[in-house]
Chains A and B, each alone.
Chain A
Amino acid sequence: MLLGKVSLTPALCTALRISPGFSGIQKQIGAAATQNVRLYASSQAAEVGNESQSFAINMFKGQINPSQVFPFPSVMNEEQTQFLQELVPPVSKFFEEVNDPAKNDSLEKVEDSTMESLKEMGAFGLQIPQDLGGVGLTNTQYARLVEIVGQHDLGVGITLGAHQSIGFKGILLVGSPAQKEKYLPKLATGETLAAFCLTEPASGSDAASIKTLATLSPCGKHYILNGGKIWISNGGLAEIFTVFAKMPMMDEKTGQMKDKITAFIVERSFGGVTHGPPEKKMGIKASNTAEVYFENVPVPIENILGEVGGGFKVAMAILNNGRFGMAAALSGTMKGVITQAVDHAANRVQFGSKIHTYGAIQEKLARMAMLQYVTESMAYMISGNMDSGSKDYHIEAAISKIFASEAAWEVTDECIQVMGGMGFMKGSGVERVMRDLRIFRIFEGTNDILRLFVALNGFQDAGKHLKSLQKALKNPLGNAGLLAGEMTKRAKRRAGLSTGLTLQGSVHPELSHSGDLAVKVIEHFGVTVEDMLLKHGKNILHEQFVLKRVADSAIDLYAMVVVLSRASRSLSQGHASAQHEKILCETWCIEASVRIMKNVKDLKSSSTTQVFKNMKAISAAVVENGGIVAPHPLGF
């Protein structure tokens, strides 16, 4: 539950400016679309513990916890750095000289010889421990290599990612020692390929509603699996499947049978596993996508992955753990297309000058550079946090996935624009990248769902904070100091005054102005979050127009802080590029804070509330009419 039952006296309500009607009525949250978000949020919240170290969680409370963001993480020791430096050249060389993305795209599969070389190269077991036959990379090392793949061929990237980033990741994360020993060595060499099987025809974002069924066999030694999964990457190639199925289980509390999801390791060799033909797609054509059918598949009980009935958590942990990889890969993709755009702009002459001398092109190239800089910074901040042992990165990971997928789309689109007609031609290769990129805003959690997740997760924590304040209100004398502090803080914020929150000491002095901008925005954001909670209470779950704007602000805010951190480090270390990075950072912060303040203003304004209502009405009318409602201007 978002906000628990609390009773408030009118006087105390006034002090905290809460409307007395807000008293936390217990209501079942019916919206199916938010069910999973909530389930995930609560499963994550349980891990958060008392004081979260996550910057994102704290910013929703208008607080700054710099521990995970300043200084920019540098987590590799000398040996890991040296090892990674040796890995980069052969991998780059392979993708530059051997892999043929255009060929893979037109064949709609990764060339056999390329697959063989990738397997020999060890590319299929990058994060499997060395003693089980893998390369044993940390998240940061993995990110660096995945960046190379993203730069050259996203179709290959998804083939590799579907296998190791999600396909067998569950075994790595929650597998038993016996399961790891049995399956990981062959997965490491690519002798067997893996696939992640969650989505069904009627269950996409609503993952908790899956219908594939696992029933215990009479002998008690197997589960019998029945069902069908769709859009499974590597579905036609895999030997090992991580399958999510529902199981009827006795709920101890209610004494009733309830369907809970369990994760299973399923081998094609168990029998009863078949797959459909490769789907014809807009992009990532080289990656195999197919339907997978399970017909009375006997799965030994030893193959349950994680806890019985804990499958949903396993699914979310897997997706969460792999998300940083997407930001890393896409930062590589952007680097590649930016190089092409720059090459064109620096050489193409029109109206007597090189086109990069024109403001319209300059703005495009600058925005492209900034978006790439932010994405790259997010990717390595998150991988660094994960490598340092943080368990509290789920909001940041979701933010990075949303940001990276949208930034990459925008950057590639602008690259085509800069290149003009050439960009549209198959030969340049950019249109392929554009087609490959479209799916990144959809799979692994649609950006729309992830926005809800970011906002609701943040609200939940902020709400708990409010709840603890409300508890303190019950004993105001005992908590006088806390309450006085909190009320002063609120009064100051609402008056637009600073509360002493600062990033001085974290941010490099040359960036202090941008640091102050970030602090100002965090303060306003904290106020907005609280206002929304107070206004809507539990119903915030249903206010998706609000949630989207809150999420967008959170994304922009995290982006600001991430580049402040990276640019500060470059300045402190005296990098040759430090001044350039300073400009990237300052420019980003100026524009991001404008966007955030607009969202903050909109969420307070009554005309925006009217706009939301109007949009709801327009949507209802269009749905009822099965399409556009207004009759043709010509009357027919």
Chain B
Amino acid sequence: ENTKIRVKPDHSGVVTDGVKHSMNPFCEIAVEEAVKLKEKKLIKEVVAVSCGPTQVTETIRTALAMGCDRGIHVEVSGKDYEAMGPLQISKIFAALAKKEEASLIILGKQAIDDDCNQTGQMTAALLDWPQGTFASEVTIDGEKVKVVREIDGGLETIKISMPAVLTADLRLNTPRYATLPNIMKAKKKKIANMKPADLGVDMVSRVEVLRVDEPPTRLAGVKVETVDDLVAKLRANGTI
């Protein structure tokens, strides 16, 4: 079903009430990579984490159905949720990584709703861990991780030590479809609940959204007969 994206009447953001939310596609790829690493017995346990209101448990369950072992739901709702951005989330991830003694944090390179592309990088910085971002290939080699990264010029291969943060790009893998038996098994897996305060994280935002507008409607184009006409028109409307 296609939902039309609507800007709130007060231009403070986009309408999210009643809109069906699902796992960010790049995060799906991240979950898939983690589950594959576990299936190869290169890692012991996969914990799926999500920050947000009650509905995010549905997304955590999808991750559990894909093969994660357990979940953590960090409850953030109301104004805190509206103001939540990469900085707050990366603080939460950093705290959890220390608490859980994680060796790897894998997330999507960016969320397709805000396109920030910051959380992975900020998390690594807060933890002072190496980062392998825009990964299109991940290979674990002892205590190190070889990451092939998609960059503007092509592909870059790096080797980083664990613990590390990786962010998943499109071509890393093709996420599996959750099967009904796996969804059934996932019901028995545990999801722990906690609040940012439990992790010592302050949720105050350093960013204030001034205004959100829809893209301007595209104006009709004008056809011209000759190059001279084109130049004249461009001069007339101040472009040159």
- Using a CB–CB cutoff of 8 Å, the interface residues on chain A facing chain B are 83, 85-87, 89-91, 93-94, 98, 117, 120-123, 126, 130, 135-136
Contacts and interface: CB of A to CB of B under 8 A. Distances in A.
Contact of B177 (A83, A94, A135): A94
B240 interface: no
Contacts of B183: 83, 86-87, 90
B216 interface: no
Contacts of B61: 86
Nearest to B20: A89
A121 B177 contact: yes
Given A83-B187, A86-B61, A89-B22, A98 B177 contact: yes
Nearest to B183: A86
Contacts of A122: 179-181, 184
16 contacts: A83-B184, A86-B183, A89-B62, A90-B62, A93-B177, A94-B177, A117-B177, A120-B179, A121-B179, A122-B181, A122-B184, A123-B180, A130-B184, A135-B180, A135-B181, A135-B184
Contacts of B180: 87, 90-91, 121-123, 126, 135
Contacts of B181: 122, 135
Contacts of A90: 62, 65, 177-180, 183
Nearest to A85: B58
Contacts of A130: 184
Given A83-B184, A135-B181, 16 more contacts: A83-B183, A86-B61, A86-B65, A86-B183, A86-B186, A87-B180, A89-B22, A89-B62, A90-B62, A90-B65, A90-B180, A90-B183, A93-B177, A98-B177, A135-B180, A135-B184
A266 to B, nearest CB: 28
A92 B65 CA distance: 16
Contacts of A120: 179
Task: Please tell me the size bucket of the interface on B.
Answer: 10 to 19
Interface in B42-66: 58, 61-62, 65
Nearest to A130: B184
B23 to A, nearest CB: 10
Nearest to A118: B179
B200 to A, nearest CB: 32
- Counting chain B CB atoms within 10 Å of each CB, the highest count among A85, A86, A130 belongs to A86
Shortest 8 CB-CB contacts between residues of A and residues of B: A122-B180, A90-B178, A122-B181, A121-B179, A135-B180, A86-B183, A120-B179, A90-B177
- Counting chain B CB atoms within 10 Å of each CB, the highest count among A90, A94, A121, A123 belongs to A90
A429 B62 CA distance: 31
A191 to B, nearest CB: 13
Nearest to B181: A122
A87 B178 CA distance: 9
Interface string B171-204: 0000001111101101100000000000000000
B184 to A, nearest CB: 6
A553 to B, nearest CB: 37
A195 to B, nearest CB: 23
Contacts of A87: 180, 183
A585 to B, nearest CB: 24
B227 to A, nearest CB: 35
